[in-house]
Each structure stands twice: as C-alpha cells, then as structure tokens.
Amino acid sequence: MIDKKNGIRIEYFLMLIVSFFWAIGHPLGRIILQKVHPLQLGAMTLGTGFIGLLIFLIASGRVKKIFELSRRDTLISLGLGVFGFFLYQILTFSALARIPASMNAVLVSNNVVFIVLLAALTLKERVKPLSIIGIILAICGVVLVTFNKGFSIGDGAGGIDLLGCAFSLLAALSAALYSVIGKRVLESNDPLIVAALAMFSGAVLLTILTAVTVGFSDVLLAGWPTILLMVFLGLTMISIAYPLWFVCLKKFPASQISIYIYLTPVFAVILSLIILHDRFSWLFLVGGALILGGIIIANKFASGSSTPKNRRK
C-alpha cells in the first residue's frame, strides 16, 4: 500500500514536469517561428529529441530492449510516430504561427476530451458523471484562460484566426490517437522504447517532408540563438516530456492521467507573460481555479472508480 501511494505521488509529480515542458514549447516556439518555417522547427526539435532519448537508452543499456519487441508492437510503435510526432508537430507549429501561444496551448490541451471519448470507445474505460463534470469545469477554465482579454471574434488584434484554431484542434485529435493507441502497446513493453520508435519514425517522415518542400536553409541563416532554442525544445519538450508521458500512461488509465494536460495552458500563459510579455486579466485567475478544480474532481473520481484488477496492479 505504501509503495502504491508513493508511486501515485511520483506519477503526479512527473505529470507536472510533462505539462511544464509542453507548455514552454508554446512561447519559445512563437519566438523561433519568426525565423524559421513550422516544418523546419518541427523537424529540428523532433530530430534533437530522438537523438537525446537514444543517447540515454544507449548509456543506460536499455537500447537492447528494442529487439525484444514483437514485430506487431514494433510496427505499432513506429506507426504512433505518424500521429504523435509527424502530424502533431506540423499541426501545432502551424497553429502557433497563426494564433497566440497561450491560445494554442489551451486548444491543444483539449485532446483530453478526445482521449476520454476514444478510451471509452476502444479501451472500454468507464466514464462516470462526476468525471464528466470535472472535464466540463476544466473546459470552462481553459476558455476563460484563452479569452482572458475578452471574447471578441473578428478582424484586428482581438480577432481569432479560425484556421489556426482548426490546426490546434486537429493537433489535439492527433495527440489523442497517439495516447490511446499507445496505451495498448504499453501493456507489455518499456515506455521509453515505444516512445523512441515513435520519435524515430516521426522524425524521419518530417525530415523528408521538410527537405523536399521548404528545405533547411532558413535554419542555417537563423543564427545560433535560434538554433540553441530549437535544441532546448527538442531535449525538454520531446526527449524528456514524451517518455515521461508514456511512463505515466503505462500505470494509469488514459482518461485519468490525461486530465493533467489541462495544466499546460496555465503554465503556457504564465510563461507567455514572462517571455513574450503577454498580459491577461482576472479571468485568467478564475479560469486557472476552474482548471485545477476540474483536475481534482476528475482525478479523485477516476482513482476511486478503478476496477479491482487495476487496484491489485
């Protein structure tokens, strides 16, 4: 019992790290996109992230576990890279080039809703009314955080780029497919190995697409500060955050642990305030409270509604 409680506390701490590293990608990505194309940014961060994780696997001696995967799980892991890295990087950075960093973080975090629905349909995870209430509270919170300056829709500084919003929501769906499909592979495999294979396939596809379309010349001309920022995002947002996400996903139901993604927009708005000097109103505080309240309600209910089989595990 003690080990289980300690394990739960560790998982919650790891999800805070994941949320923060995913959040920092939004304001820093906004800065980098002033110098490079979204495809170039995606390819550079993903390639750096894969190399960083590969070095860790080699140094820890875990890289040999790649050859222990069955052919089916290897193919599924490689296929995960299409949703979780190839499409997601293209969509989220394309959105970031059009809409504010905080708004992109909020819209992408709605992959929680997609995860809950897909998990219920494919993984047969139970979704009870109290869990739904928690999600609704969190959704209300992210709306307030996003539109903390007002709710105007139209042209001008207060307008909303609908295409950018569509890119964000499609990125959310892509991330949800990545998580739900990955949940099945994680049942009997090392989460770091699964993440590494997914990163590899996503990096290869995105590098090829970038090379044949926009090329990498802008990256070379962007300067070392921009290149170092891309390396930093690759190491934190990709090679650290995604493996930790899979570690948490292996031990908790997808619909339960994914609720912590709603912390990402809170961190993103705070970081945007510090880095980009964005401003927000008191609505942000109300929205943040709703987000945290939704996380507490949904998580407490989910942890109390686990099946006996899951409790024994």
Please give the chain's pLDDT, 313 residues, in tens: 334 444 456 877 888 898 899 889 989 999 999 999 999 999 999 999 999 999 999 998 889 889 888 999 999 999 999 988 999 999 999 998 888 787 788 778 777 777 777 777 776 667 677 777 877 887 787 777 666 665 545 444 455 677 888 898 899 899 888 888 887 787 788 888 998 999 999 999 999 999 999 999 999 899 999 999 999 999 999 999 988 887 887 777 766 676 677 788 778 878 888 887 766 667 777 877 887 677 677 666 654 444 334 433 3
**% of the chain with per-residue pLDDT over 70:** 81
| Distance between CA atoms of residues 106 and 303, nearest Å | 25
Q: Is the pTM of this model over 0.75?
A: yes
Q: How far is CA 166 from CA 27, 96, 99, 163, 206, in A?
A: 19, 11, 11, 5, 20
Q: Which residues contact 256 (CB under 8 A, 6 or more apart)?
A: 298, 299, 302, 303
Burial class (CB in 10 A: 0-12, 13-18, 19+), 236: buried
Note whether 166 and 53 are within 8 A (CB): no
Per-residue confidence (pLDDT) for residue 185, from 0 to 100: 83
The structural domains of the chain, with segments of one domain joined by +, span 2-127+157-254
Closest CA to 123 of 68, 186, 71: 186
Q: How far apart are the first and last CA of the chain?
A: 11
Per-residue confidence (pLDDT) for residue 214, from 0 to 100: 94
Per-residue confidence (pLDDT) for residue 148, from 0 to 100: 62
Per-residue confidence (pLDDT) for residue 288, from 0 to 100: 73
H/E run at residue 19: helix 2-32
| Distance between CA atoms of residues 305 and 118, nearest Å | 18
Per-residue confidence (pLDDT) for residue 203, from 0 to 100: 95
Q: Give residue 70's Cα distance to chain centre.
A: 27
Burial class (CB in 10 A: 0-12, 13-18, 19+), 213: exposed
